Amino acid sequence: MPSAYDDYRYDEFWRGRDYEKEADFMAVKKLFSAMPSQKGLLLDIGAGNGRMVSLYENDWKKFILLDSSKEQLIAARERVTEGKNVRFLIASSWDMPLPNGSCDAALCVRMFHYIDNPRKTIAEISRVVKPGGYLILEIPNKVHFKNRLRALMALLYAPSLFWNLLSRESVDHSSYDDIPFVNHHPRTIASLLEWNDFIIETTLSVSNFRSPLMKKAIPLSLLLLMENHFQRPLAKFFFGPSVYFLARKL
């Protein structure tokens, strides 16, 4: 069955977003480095066109690229070095045809903006990750700093916006090319992780300086230096538009 994302051009989306792309890579590298050195089977959930493959293909013995779009996985195949022990799996994140506890770790980046039922997806991830295994999860953050400012400014003329921001429920937003995007409250996701037997070991705030003005005025190398320095401390405030969790399953 065709996926809504089959024809989406993710390479075009990332064109001109070098800061955001490198901030993602920086965060994933940090969290991978915090895992134990022996690395068996990694599950990349919502792998899309394989944007993250270069960060793990040389360190993991086996990996699975899972996505609901066959067309995206065909594109991802081009990114995988020939001879790697890799499997491409067409499936949804809330119904994965994998045995219980079959994966040493799972990676899920830039996928939760499609998830309107995080409870179901996190439960399924917990099922396939083995006890003691790890999850790197990125979520779009509904309470990032700019959204808080917007809510405060709207308090007098649109109080519903203010209270909606305070709510821990997810928020639907207008989409790119008719594909719905959903933001999540980090505390809600953290609670779901803990409810599903994950212990959160590290939290990062990512893309903290995602501003057209800053990206134009400040060299990329300096922006990334600032990003590297502030990803951990700003996580305490859920400052940036992306929040990353490194969680270990009990």
CATH of the domain at 117: 3.40.50.150
Burial class, 229, CB count within 10 angstroms (exposed 0-12 / middle 13-18 / buried 19+): exposed
| Structural domain count of the chain | 1
3-state SS, residue 203: strand
Distance of CA 191 to the CA centre of its chain: 17
Task: Say if 179 falls within a structural domain.
Answer: yes
Is 25 a domain residue? yes
Q: Is residue 153 part of a domain?
A: no
> In this structure, is residue 42 part of a structural domain?
yes
pLDDT for position 81: 94
> Which residues does 227 contact at the CB level (< 8 Å), separation at least 6?
19, 22, 23, 26, 206, 207, 208, 209
Q: 41 pLDDT exceeds 60?
A: yes
Measure the CA–CA gap between 50 and 219, rounded to whole angstroms.
Answer: 27
Q: Of residues 163 and 137, which shows the higher confidence score?
A: 137
Please say if the pLDDT value at position 223 is more than 70: yes
User: Is 235 within a domain?
Assistant: yes
Nearest to 241 by CA among 106, 137, 139: 139
Question: Per the structure block, which two tokens stand in for 232?
Answer: 């951990």
Which positions ≥6 away from 16 have C-beta within 8 Å?
none
Q: Average of pLDDT values for 211-236?
A: 96
Which residues on neighbouring strands pair with residue 182, listed in sequence order? 172
Amino acid 142 reads K
For residues 226 and 209, the answer to whether their CB atoms sit within 8 Å is yes
pLDDT at 103: 98
pTM: 0.95
Residue 161 included in any domain: no
Q: Is residue 155 part of a domain?
A: no
Structure tokens at 14: 């990332």
pLDDT 10s digits, 67-97: 999 999 999 999 999 989 999 999 999 999 9
| Nearest C-alpha neighbor of 64 from the set 75, 76, 123 | 76
* Spatial contact of 64 and 43, defined as CB atoms under 8 Å apart: yes
Domain range for 91 is 10-143+174-249
Q: Rounded CA gap, 193 and 44, in Å?
A: 18
Domain assignment present for residue 50? The answer is: yes
Helix (H) or strand (E) holding 30: helix 18-33
